[in-house]
Structure 1
Amino acid sequence: MTEHTTVVIVGAGVAGLTLGNILLRNGIDCVILEKYGREHVEQRQRAGTIDSRGVRMFREWGLEEVLAHDAPTEVDAGFFLDGEELPIDFSADDNDSVFLPQQVLVRNLTDAFLRAGGDLRFEADSITLENLEHPVVRYGDNVVTAGFIAGCDGDRGVSRTAFPAGVLTRYSREYGYAWLSVLAEVPANPSGMAIHSRGLAGMLPRGPHASRTYLQCALDDDLAQWPDERVWSELEARFGRPVASGRIADKRLVPLRNVVHSPMQSGKLHLLGDAAHIVPPMSAKGIHLALFDAEVFARGVIRQAKENDPSLLDSYSETCLSHVWNYQAFAAWITDIMHDAGDASYAGEFRKRVARAELERQFTSAAAGRLFAEFMAGVA
């Protein structure tokens, strides 16, 4: 049996679920296909910072409910340089960001979509996309034709591979180090980021009784080199003070990179979020870019459906890429500064001193601090 819908959304992550919720509330029919089961999707551990722009976007579309959570909204975070805590002012007028574990946001978006009568199909195996000018989506024994396809299935999904050969250009930068990312069942204490000659470290809340910690490490490290005892001792060394320890629930190595695929559309297939671009986690802008893409695409579909005006959809890639490159620049800048200012074995002593001068400017220059605050709030 062949079905038809206005938009097939491939992937039930932040971008896909946000898009589905916006479309549903504006009378646009859509189907979300997700290859994994609901339990798997809602337990995937990811970072979770929704900046001011994202918070305002959800409110403007009537989706403020998805921001509800039991984690502390206000986080007493510090910035540590060689063990010395430096003051950070988070009181920018336009900064009402929310620290929300990404799996909680996904769960809230899923609940909101289903409550509104949305069509969300988990365990949609073997998804294929055909005829991008008149889209056909197949999975299992099912066939769905669509006006548009939103590829929200991440960096390793099927959407980007459906682009015709030679259409996409991949731009990337690989950093010379990785992060050991650790999910621990312990409150973040201390909380914040630490720059040290041993490398960068971070400890951030992921709920009242959980934290995500990060340790800069070599690209060729493996998990066997990082037993739990070493994780806690290294955090203490880099923060320069005792660190609350506890059970480690998850541990993985994450090479840092910037990636952009251009263009972000081919025919009626549009890429959103990680399917189109990756930013280093240091910038905390992955969710920001996913939400921006979702809103731009949603506005385009709504304009097309209600006014028969394709202009916003036609310019989708250009609009998104202009924003993406702006935040790639910020992501590369903050990643370089925070890492170069610590362990000089990666970029050299000259770059370390330059990076520290740039850091000092953030604390002493109102203009520099304001620009940084705008990027962190997502309004730059």
Structure 2
Amino acid sequence: MDESTRNGGSAAVEQTTVVVIGAGPTGLTLANLLQRSDIPCVLLERRSRDFVENRHRAGIVDARVRQLYEDWGLADVLGGPPDDGLLEFRVDGVAHLVDHARLSGGRYGWLCPQQVLVRNLITTFTDGGGDLRFDVPDVAIHDLTADRARVTCTGPAGEPTTIEARYVAGCDGARGPSRVSVPPGTMATYTFDHEVSWLTIMATTPPPPHPLLSVSDQGYAAHFYRGPQASRYYLQCGPQDGPPEWPAERLWPELRVRLGDAQLPDGPITEIRRVDMRSEVCEPMSHGRMFLAGDSAHVMTPMGGKGMNLAVLEAETLALAIRAAVRDGDEAGLRGYSTTCLERAWRYQEFSRWMLEMLHDSGDSSRVGPFRRRLARTRLAALFTDSTAARVFGEMMAGVGN
């Protein structure tokens, strides 16, 4: 924190350069990049540290984001093994390996569960003297078009707190206070329901050797690494299905069928929930002194694993723009922030939609009909037979050129 002042006899009004709201991968990455740029910031998170550090989410860092962390001296935040670049598509039980690292010029990502990344980013930021405050549930943002924005909240001891800042970074998701603080009529929101739902299952079972995506007449399923003895499974489910309809005695046999692996071992299920595939993009991604990043600005399906990677790229774009404004008085990057990020966000949305449609339409034809199923199967087969289609897919998976 760069300074602190007191207004008469009232409580202190804290002063900083940036208030970052939300301690997920987006906010934590931004805070670490600002710290490395010697720009003071305060990071506020409504949840407890224990909750944030143990929240299971995406687990693949693509090649572009891996390079980003290395470039900023943050390579150590990437726990887990490197991704060997192989992705297995299993079609009606037949395996097809796609080497997306080779297809993208040898670029590879990292198999890093989100909770591991978050823990490491928290440790790095706080060990460096960063101001990170958990259990701050009532953040409100004011005066976004004034000379300095104002953020109010209640501190851990119940004390009212006001922080004035040059900039506010909203990294707190679609339902957080950042997006709510944007006045009605100043932001357009585009939404799309993909009419596909998954069960996402965390289980204590051996992970697959490569990320596995499987399609068959029974529908879509997937199996991913989340630790040496931890797996995440995805299972396409019906529009009315939820965890109660899928007890373990039904779930494991269905996964064996859909994944084409009769020997798939079962194990303790630690989490199961339903996720509806929906997308959302807000335009613009800024208002006055506030800039949105990650899920605050857009929601993506998990297909292709691009959501967290897109958010981290936005954190870097914002950090560089703030650095230029603070160090050099050059606000061109901030003025262009929304345009730059939205161009990338729509590209990633298109890739996610393309992949989701290809894999889900390739499965149970009762959902989309035989014509769309044949189209999707043709698209999928091109990844294994068409070098141009495979190269474009590999580059998108790696994040090359974004």
TM-score, normalized by length of structure 1? 0.97
Distance of 1:279 and 1:227 partners within structure 2 = 28
Structure 2 match to 1:16: 27
Q: Which amino acid aligns with 1:367?
A: T
Distance of 2:311 and 2:65 partners within structure 1 = 10
Structure 2 match to 1:357: 378
Aligned-pair RMSD on alpha carbons?
Answer: 1.3
C-alpha deviation, 1:198, in angstroms: 0.8
SS at structure 1 position matched to 2:400: coil
User: 5+ unaligned residues in a row in structure 2: which ranges?
Assistant: 1-11, 155-159
Find out whether 1:274 has 2:295 as its counterpart.
yes
Identity %: 41
Match of 1:206 among 226, 242, 249: 226
Find out whether 1:56 has 2:70 as its counterpart.
no
Greater displacement, 89-98 / 273-282: 89-98
Match of 1:299 among 320, 327, 337: 320
Structure 2 match to 1:132: 144
Q: Which amino acid aligns with 1:144?
A: I
Pairing of 1:94-243 with structure 2 (within 5 A): 94-133=106-145, 134-140=148-154, 141-189=160-208, 192-242=212-262, 243=264
Pairing of 1:266-345 with structure 2 (within 5 A): 266-345=287-366
Deviations 1:46-77 (A, max 9, x none): 0211100000101111111111x245644865
Greater displacement, 235-244 / 334-343: 235-244
Instruction: Give yes or no for contact 1:152–1:271 (8 Å, CA) kept in 2.
Output: yes
Q: Which amino acid aligns with 1:197?
A: D
Distance of 2:20 and 2:300 partners within structure 1 = 22
Instruction: Give yes or no for contact 1:132–1:269 (8 Å, CA) kept in 2.
Output: yes
CA gap of 1:164–1:91, structure 2 versus 1, over 3 A, is: closer
Distance of 1:76 and 1:306 partners within structure 2 = 42
C-alpha deviation, 1:5, in angstroms: 0.5
Instruction: Give yes or no for contact 1:72–1:208 (8 Å, CA) kept in 2.
Output: no
Q: Which amino acid aligns with 2:149?
A: P
Distance of 1:145 and 1:233 partners within structure 2 = 56
User: 5+ unaligned residues in a row in structure 1: which ranges?
Assistant: none
Find out whether 1:249 has 2:261 as its counterpart.
no
Match of 2:393 among 366, 372, 375: 372
C-alpha deviation, 1:95, in angstroms: 2.4
Structure 2 match to 1:39: 50
C-alpha deviation, 1:177, in angstroms: 1.8
C-alpha deviation, 1:193, in angstroms: 1.0
Distance of 2:166 and 2:324 partners within structure 1 = 14
Find out whether 1:78 has 2:88 as its counterpart.
yes
Instruction: Give yes or no for contact 1:71–1:206 (8 Å, CA) kept in 2.
Output: no
Distance of 1:284 and 1:26 partners within structure 2 = 29
Match of 2:99 among 70, 89, 112: 89
C-alpha deviation, 1:378, in angstroms: 0.6
Distance of 1:89 and 1:184 partners within structure 2 = 27
Instruction: Give yes or no for contact 1:176–1:346 (8 Å, CA) kept in 2.
Output: no
SS at structure 1 position matched to 2:201: strand
SS at structure 1 position matched to 2:195: strand
Deviations 1:343-370 (A, max 9, x none): 1122211100000001111111111111
Distance of 1:73 and 1:190 partners within structure 2 = 10
Distance of 2:86 and 2:62 partners within structure 1 = 17
